[in-house]
Amino acid sequence: MIFLFKRKWLIFEFIFFICCIISLIAWKFYPPYRGLVKYFFYTIISHLYISIFPHEPVLLYYGKIYNSFTIALIGGVAATLAGFIDYETINTVVKLKSVKKIYSEAKLYKKAIGFFLKAPFLMIIIAALTPIPFYPFKFLATSIDYPEDKYLSAIFIGRTPRYFILAYTGKVINIPNSILIGAFILMFVWAGIKKFQEFMKNRKKVPSEAQNPKH
């Protein structure tokens, strides 16, 4: 695909390649750091689009094992890489005429955009730093072509201290693994149920033309 050859995608692929090399070296020659490798790749997966994979229980688990600053930095980089993939793919989709006409005239969208444009960079940081659902901000930022470098910078600035706080909390409180596993399962199942409900709801929205086809 042509977009893969864009300069920014080449930069992303180079950075991701370097991360993979470092991960392979750590996995092969420094077994105690294999958990950090797992955490890095899992963070990317758990931050793509509207993921059903919970991140917090995993972070709290590894936060008990590794240095909080290391966890925060690795998580921040991984979340930023996921943010790049999000931005590039979502931005492509929301620009499609068939998609844009669905949301562009919606009252909720216009109201949200008006609020978002008052301080977009700050709002992205706050959403990345706090438990506020982040996916609406992904959509708002990409729908208005908010500068990608600012978007990714805001993610890194917001996510990194958030992960440090969580990792340090996990180390200080030392939450039992059984509780973390239970929380992971509950969050995963809950997210899966919500996704399934949304799928069934959207499936029932059959266009009137399809229900009453013209002969």
Q: What angle do CA 3, 137, 204 make, to 5 degrees?
A: 85
Return the pLDDT at 50: 85
For 207: left if phi > 0, alpha if psi spans -120 to 50, otherwise beta; the answer is beta
Determine which of 70-74, 143-147, 162-166 has the lowest per-residue pLDDT on average. Answer: 143-147
24-81 pLDDT, tens digit each: 999 999 999 999 999 999 999 999 988 889 999 999 999 999 999 999 999 999 999 9
Could you read off the pLDDT of 201-210 as tens digits, one per residue? 766 654 444 4
Tell me how many degrees the CA angle 168-16-63 measures, rounded to the nearest 5. Answer: 10
- What pLDDT sits at residue 123? 95
Greater confidence, 2 or 180? 180
User: So where are the chain's domains?
Assistant: 34-196
- pLDDT band for position 199 (cuts 50, 70, 90): low
Whole-prediction pTM: 0.86
Average pLDDT value for residue range 2-16: 77
161: pLDDT confidence band, cut at 50, 70 and 90? very high
